[in-house]
Amino acid sequence: MKMLLLCVGLLLTWENGRVMGEELVSDNELQEMSLQGSKYINKEIQNAVQEVKQIKTLIEKTDEERKLLLNTLEDAKRKKEIALDETRDSEMKLKELPGVCNETMTALWEECKPCLKQTCMKFYARVCRSGSSLIGRQLEEFLNQSSPFYFWMNGDRIDSLLENDRQQSHILDAMQDSFTRVSSIMDTVFQDRFFTEEPQDTHYFSALGLPHRRPHHFYPKSRFVRSLRLFPSFGSLGFPDMFQPVLEMIHQAQEAMDTQFHGPDFHFPNMDFTRDNDAHTVCKEIRHNSTGCLKMIDQCDKCREILSVDCSASNPAQAQLRQELNDSLQMAEKLSQRYNELLWSYQRKMFNTSSLLEQLNQQFSWVSQLANLTQGEDQAYLQVSTVTSHTSDSDTPSRVTVVVVKLFDSDPITVRMPEEVSMDDPKFMDTVAEKALQEYRRKQQQE
């Protein structure tokens, strides 16, 4: 009977969570531990709110940087278009002049074609390695239909420049469309009172940094805010209903941004006119319409001679126009390359904004979950239920302190503290609370 009573007594003591080796942890000690742990959680909640608002500030700063970059882009675009117009104008004037040196260029072209075809086919067979016979017939037809005058005027460079200009405009339009939709959503999100109200007196703010006693001021443009006008304070609201619209809008903004990155609109063309395109690009151009072979003209003597034909003796005006064409073409290529670099910078701003939106989504999601669980400043966010001591199962036995806690509305969370972290350590409950919070957030993310 004595043994039975002893066992019952131990079980009851165990259930009350106050056994630690041979020492008892009193109710007052459990309450003090809960209070210390709650202070740490409260600090982390405040940090989370501040991080949300810092992310908001970063998003706004990134948007301002984007606007400045867009002004630079528009200026670069104007200069590029002027150079393109001058190039097209020179090209048209050159085409309108009576043909000269035709016999010389035609003879060189007939000697150029076999070399160009052979050079291109060797490259294709060595690097591209697919469908060489079909490409050979396609290339021969392309060369027979081409004119030496086209090369003499650098027609391939002009066509490439115009195509790149078209692609650049398409890419910028796609990015602008994405930013416009995201900006519209985020303007509404940031008008919400969570982002617009700042603490004036800590007495009037809960652990979340949210006012719960003073009246509020609303921004009428926010659909989310309009739905809350009848409520004098957060205390009377259902927190999930209050935060869910904001979460949904943040998710919409993130989705609008990310969708663009997975589409064809962001496949930038190669616009570096200062060096040859990479092998993959040349292979693609050869398969598409054989224009990639024109990049190999420099490897054939007779082809190079076409470019160096001088017709100034019979037509000085033609020589002058050709020089003007080359000058404007070089300037247009230089400005197109600069414009392309700015487009890349603009796209990096998009990636940066997308990353910040993802952080905002994750952090605000956690804050909104906590908002449903916080009642006021005196609430204990963390409750210590049991503190026990065990010997570890390792080859080198050591004492492990096991603390079982409840965090907000969670199921019991078990935290194991090594022997070297003593309960007498002032940071003991900070460490327990930190580990419990990590486990709580991990489970929240999995749900």
Count of beta carbons in the 10 Å neighbourhood of residue 336: 23
- Point out the least confidently predicted range of 19-33, 38-52, 122-136, 175-189: 19-33
In whole angstroms, what is the distance from residue 337 CA to residue 408 CA? Answer: 57
CA distances from 419 to 17, 279, 429 (A): 19, 62, 14
| CB of 187 closer than 8 Å to CB of 252 | no
Mean pLDDT of 385-406: 78
Could you report the per-residue pLDDT of 262-313, keeping only the tens digit for each? 555 555 555 444 344 567 777 877 877 777 788 888 899 988 888 888 877 7
Q: Buried (b) or exposed (e) across 79-112, using 16+ Cβ within 10 A?
A: ebeebbebbbebbebbeeeeebbeeebeebbeeb
Could you report the per-residue pLDDT of 72-83, keeping only the tens digit for each? 999 999 999 999
* Mean pLDDT rounded to a whole number for the chain: 76
In whole angstroms, what is the distance from residue 334 CA to residue 105 CA? Answer: 29
pTM for the model stands at 0.67
Could you report the per-residue pLDDT of 344-395, keeping only the tens digit for each? 998 888 888 888 888 888 888 877 777 666 544 445 688 999 898 877 666 5
Rg of the chain (C-alpha set) = 36
CA distances from 224 to 49, 192, 219 (A): 19, 7, 10
- Point out the least confidently predicted range of 21-30, 133-142, 168-177: 21-30
Is 50 exceeded by the pLDDT of residue 17? Answer: no
Please name which of 190, 175, 119, 217 lies closest in space to residue 347, comparing C-alpha atoms.
175
- Point out the least confidently predicted range of 67-76, 257-266, 316-325: 257-266
pLDDT of residue 6: 46
Question: Is residue 350 classed exposed, middle or buried when 0-12, 13-18 and 19+ CB atoms within 10 A define those classes?
Answer: buried
pLDDT of residue 25: 75
- Point out the least confidently predicted range of 53-62, 101-110, 255-264, 437-446: 255-264
Please name which of 245, 228, 249 lies closest in space to residue 237, comparing C-alpha atoms.
228
pLDDT of residue 361: 85
Could you report the per-residue pLDDT of 222-265, keeping only the tens digit for each? 333 333 232 233 333 344 556 778 888 888 888 888 766 655 55
